[in-house]
Amino acid sequence: MRKRRTKLTASWLALALLMVSLLAPSAGAQSAAPLQVSAQGKAWGIGTNYETAVIDLRITNLYVDPARNNTISPWVLQFDFNGTIESVAGAVITAKEGTRYTLKGDTDTDLSYGETLELRITTTLNGSSSASFQNLTLRPEVIAAPWRWLGTYSVNDIVEYNGIFYKAIQAHTAYATNWTPVQTPALWQPVSIESYSYSTSVDVELDIIESWTLGGTYTAGQIVFHDGSFYSCVQSHTAHAPNWYPGPQTASLWKKTALSFQLNP
């Protein structure tokens, strides 16, 4: 009898330990952040009138919002950036307050779950050799409009009423003042939507193209920037004389070239 009781006790103990291991979250079981962000670029002419940086910013949307079919539409991007942005391929700048930029899509305004937004940003860095995007937030342009009398709604429209979000479950016009979401469960159902309050930051993997300098040591194939143009070093050397700068007079040392902007694989 004692052996049987010992076996039962051991079995119950093993079962309890199994339940604890199943219920306890593992160390690596944290939910993914709603954004995955990376940035890389090239910069040249730092601190001169030619200063330029071209940065590819990639943002993958991982927001989960069933009320919107997990799609941000239309999207708005906001971030803090210390440089002066001249243009953005794939978006337009709609506002700038201090270092805070607001961007909207120029063509494709929908961003589904798992889809990546790719923006090419041309900017100056104000003399800095580094760059970062701070407090970056990707969100819908309008998260939810207040419910209103005589408003016309389509299925899946989201409204806010008395601090609660509702989704329209049938198309209608709110003809009566008492057709509020609270009083018309045949028209509306409460939903929990993503607040889109998550922000992240990312440093730019920045490749600095050196400007030619007197006394600099250069290797064959190296790219430098000088007087508004890029040059490739023809043979390794040290620039001992002031007139050894890249140009027609130093064709044996330098060859004018174009810079590749294939930043992302």
> Average pLDDT of each block of 10 consecutive residues along the chain (265 residues)?
45 41 32 86 95 97 84 92 96 96 88 95 96 95 89 92 92 97 97 81 97 97 96 98 97 94 66
Residue position matching structure tokens 């889809």:
115
Q: Are 160 and 146 in contact (CB under 8 A)?
A: yes
How far, in Å, CA of 63 to CA of 60, rounded?
A: 9
Coil, strand or helix at 4:
helix
5's CB contacts (< 8 A; 6+ apart) are none
Encoded tokens for 251: 């064709």
Checking phi first, is residue 45 left (phi over 0); if not, alpha (psi -120 to 50) or beta? left
How far, in Å, CA of 99 to CA of 122, rounded?
A: 16
Which residue spans of the chain are classified as CATH 2.10.10.90?
Answer: 214-255
Question: Residue 77 burial by CB count (10 A; 0-12/13-18/19+): exposed, middle or buried?
Answer: buried
In degrees, rounded to 5, the angle at the alpha carbon of residue 142 between the alpha carbons of residues 140 and 143 is: 75
What pLDDT was estimated at residue 242?
A: 97
183's CB contacts (< 8 A; 6+ apart) are none
Half-sphere exposure of 7 (CA within 13 A, CB side): 4
Beta carbons within 10 angstroms of residue 69's beta carbon: 11
What pLDDT was estimated at residue 168?
A: 95
Measured between alpha carbons, how far apart are the two ends of the chain, in Å?
70
Domain 151-194 class? mainly beta
Domain 214-255 belongs in CATH node 2.30.38.10:
no
The pTM for the full model equals: 0.74
Please choose, from the candidates 33, 65, 39, 76, the residue with its C-alpha nearest in 3D space to the C-alpha of residue 200. 33
Beta carbons within 10 angstroms of residue 104's beta carbon: 16
Architecture per CATH, 36-143+196-207:
Sandwich (2.60)
Between strands 164-168 and 172-173, the pairing is unpaired
Which residue spans of the chain are classified as CATH 2.10.10.20?
Answer: 151-194
Q: Tell me, what DSSP letter sits at residue 211?
A: B
Which residue spans of the chain are classified as CATH 2.60.40.290?
Answer: 36-143+196-207
